[in-house]
Copies of this chain bind each other. A is one copy, B any other.
Amino acid sequence: MIVQAVKWIGDVDGFLQLIDQRKLPAECVKLRCRDVEQLYDAIKTLAVRGAPALGVSAAYGLVLAMQKLSADSNLKQGLDVLAKAGQLLASSRPTAVNLFWALDRVRLCAEKFIATKPTLSEVEGPSTKLQELRSAVLAEANAIYQEDVDMCRRIGQNGEKFIKQGAGILTHCNAGALATAGQGTALSVMFEAHKKGRKFKVYADETRPLLQGARLTAWELKHAGINVVIICDNMAGWLMKRGHISAVITGADRIAANGDAANKIGTYSLSILAREHGIPFYIAAPSSTFDLSIKSGAEIPIEERTADEVRFFEDKRIAPDDVDIYNPAFDVTEARDITAIITERGVIEKPNARKIAEHLQ
């Protein structure tokens, strides 16, 4: 079974159910968020993660916020609550573009509701329309959720043909159901091939320093009944050499206009090793991952993260205190080393600027 990282349970008075990813893989605990402060903590402490999953969660966070309005609140108070909750949620992960986008989208929907439907007295006085506004906010959150589910499934359907019977597929980090509201991006391709009854094996790089591959990818593939083997990142090249890998499939965080793709550190090395061994290398990502304002990978800024992610394993120090550590979070794979980019719209083989522009039209 494919896990569901993010799920709204019930109507406007319902709650948001998250798989608590802080506890994986030791245990699968469902976290019930019943107010926006609890969701803020969950996002902040990485109980939920992954750009699409964060966007959907934040949208539902606004539904939670409105549950606190008293029955005699007016619509203006409703908008105020949305604005305040939106500010709080936006401060949880300051670089999460999807989160801002989802919050904006719900806010705009609420503003549109108020601008078009009620009278001014209904906005400023006690309003019977408040329930309607709450329903409109839930409907917009549900729409964001459903679009993500559909997008994930279509990526998988567009890419599953690249996984042949008996294949050995290498993936890096977690581009799975745990990072989205749906069934993921790179892993969606595997889920769809699995649905078709194809037998294959997935090698999951453990993905240092945060081990998303070992902790999350391996867990959700196993949960879905797919044969998975964890390896350390430094073993991938040797497995290619020995003939165990027939394709590499990863996600992407940002793709430039020319097809250069930023993804979790280590992806670049895999693309070079794949080319060396004549192995196709696929990126699976929603079309919203393209940033056409960025011409090529050289312009993509690379986030450097704290040395402590490498130096400590939980509270145990594994490297000397006084030695420098370099911890870039991403690298950039060149378009020439990408066999194809798989999106919800289709497949861009041998991606280049022209093909990408056409694909996005």
Contacts and interface: CB of A to CB of B under 8 A. Distances in A.
Interface of A: 25-26, 172, 203, 205-209, 211, 214-215, 218-219, 222, 228-239, 241, 265-266, 268-269, 272-273, 276, 310-311, 313-314, 316-328, 331
8 contacts: A25-B318, A208-B232, A211-B318, A222-B322, A222-B323, A228-B323, A229-B323, A272-B272
Copies of this chain per assembly: 2
Can you list the 5 inter-chain pairs with the closest CB atoms, starting with the nearest?
A: A234-B266, A237-B269, A233-B234, A208-B232, A238-B331
Nearest to A324: B229
Nearest to A211: B318
Given A25-B319, A269-B269, A273-B272, A233 B233 contact: yes
A160 to B, nearest CB: 22
Nearest to A330: B238
Interface of A is mostly: mixed
Contact of A234 (B207, B229, B311, B324): B207
A208 B230 contact: no
Contacts of A232: 208-209, 233, 265-266, 310, 327
A323 B222 CA distance: 7
Given A214-B318, A219-B323, A328 B234 contact: no
A316 to B, nearest CB: 7
Contacts of A209: 232
A218 B269 contact: no
A272 to B, nearest CB: 5
Contact of A219 (B268, B320, B326): B320
A234 B326 contact: no
B268 A218 contact: no
A238 B318 CA distance: 23
Given A219-B323, A222-B322, A313-B313, 19 more contacts: A25-B321, A172-B234, A205-B234, A208-B208, A211-B318, A214-B310, A222-B323, A228-B324, A229-B323, A230-B319, A230-B323, A230-B325, A231-B326, A234-B265, A236-B269, A238-B268, A241-B268, A273-B273, A314-B316
Contacts of A325: 229-231
A199 to B, nearest CB: 15
A269 B234 contact: yes
A218 B320 contact: yes
Contacts of A324: 228-230
Given A238-B331, A326-B229, A222 B320 contact: yes
A52 to B, nearest CB: 23
Contacts of A214: 310, 318-319
Contacts of A322: 222
A207 B318 CA distance: 12
The CB with the most chain B CB atoms within 10 A, among A207, A214, A320, is that of A320
A291 to B, nearest CB: 20
B319 A237 contact: no
Contacts of A228: 323-324
A316 B233 CA distance: 19
Contact of A273 (B233, B235, B241, B269): B269
A203 B208 CA distance: 16
Contacts of A241: 268, 331
A208 B235 CA distance: 9
A237 B268 contact: yes
The CB with the most chain B CB atoms within 10 A, among A205, A218, A326, is that of A326
